[in-house]
Amino acid sequence: MNKFLKRIALLTALLLLILPLLSFGPAKASDFSRGNGGEESEGQHIVDRAGLFSFNAKRDLEEEMARLEEKYNIRLFILTVYELEDDALGRPYTGIRAFTEDYYDYVVCGGVETSGLILCVNMGAREMWLSTTGEELERFRRDENFLLDEIAERLGDGKYDAAAKRFVKLVEQKHKWGFYLPGADKIILSLGVGVLIGALSTFIMAAGLKNIRQAGGAKTYVVSGSFNLRHVGELFLYSHVTKSEKAQSSSRSGGGFGGGGGSSGFSHGGGGRRF
């Protein structure tokens, strides 16, 4: 009887040791999965609190963003959240723009003004904001709408990995060539339309030339007696010179889509989209 009781006590003790491991073991990926099978994570260049990106995409993006930072001497960052956090004083942010700019200035750059870009995606409100500062503000000011549209289109389709990769790729293109290259799908579509229009135009022109025959000589195109050149000379009429004062260039400040400064006092550019 004593041996039986000892065995019961031993089994009970083992169960008490195993039960916490079964109930409170490590969280699975599905516990935080909200996007492409990714988990909530924080890296050197990506803070994915909404869990949008896959593990492989985050790994590749971290490597690529680190390479671009070193090559172009900029700061590049991606932040995803499900809701905007409070500021340092515990006050809620009223918009994604101020939240993004302050996060970049204080969290990413430690309060030091640094040229770079940050892409913030707020899944709770289905909105995104791209903020630029330093030299990047002027670099992306004029054609940033294309960049915003490219990212928002992919976010709206649920292609979160593709949106982040497109963002990084377009930043590299802007630095490398000074302009953006269209995506492969747009290139194929443009080529197809161009070939179709070209073939149709050639067919129409060829059809209209069926009745045309090659002439035997140039005399065929000359009308007899239509042109007679008898006298050659030059006649000076008058001259006129107009002078005007050259306008002086003036300094330009502020302006632009999304221009302005955050709470740090640093100037920011950029813009946003809903998706």
Cα separations (Å) of 216 from 12, 219, 220, 221? 113, 8, 8, 10
Does this model's pTM top 0.95? My answer is: no
- Residue-wise pLDDT for 22-76, tens only, equals 433 333 333 333 445 455 678 899 999 999 999 999 999 999 999 999 999 999 9
Assess if residue 218 is contained within a domain.
Answer: no
What is the count of structural domains for the chain?
1
Q: The tokens of 234 are what?
A: 């030059």
DSSP 8-state assignment for residue 86? B
- Residue-wise pLDDT for 208-254, tens only, equals 666 666 766 666 777 776 767 677 777 767 666 666 665 454 333 33
Assess if residue 140 is contained within a domain.
Answer: yes
For residue 121, which of 172, 49, 170 has the smallest C-alpha distance? 49
- Residue-wise pLDDT for 102-128, tens only, equals 999 999 999 999 999 999 999 999 999
Assess if residue 118 is contained within a domain.
Answer: yes
- Total Cβ atoms within 10 A of residue 52: 26
Domain of 73 in residue numbering reads as 29-185+267-274
- Residue-wise pLDDT for 162-206, tens only, equals 999 999 999 999 999 876 566 544 555 555 566 667 666 666 766
Burial 179-212, CB ≥16 within 10 A → b, else e = eeeebeeeeeeeeeeeeeeeeeeeeeeeeeeeee
For residue 45, which of 122, 149, 100, 117 has the smallest C-alpha distance? 117
Assess if residue 51 is contained within a domain.
Answer: yes
Assess if residue 37 is contained within a domain.
Answer: yes
Assess if residue 2 is contained within a domain.
Answer: no
Cα distance between residue 104 and residue 98, in whole Å: 10
Sequence-ordered alpha helix ranges (H) in the chain = 2-23, 29-32, 55-72, 96-102, 135-140, 144-156, 160-177, 184-208
Assess if residue 89 is contained within a domain.
Answer: yes
Cα distance between residue 255 and residue 85, in whole Å: 28
Question: CATH number for the domain including 135?
Answer: 3.10.310.50
Assess if residue 104 is contained within a domain.
Answer: yes
Q: Please report where in the chains the tokens 């928002």 appear, as a residue.
A: 152
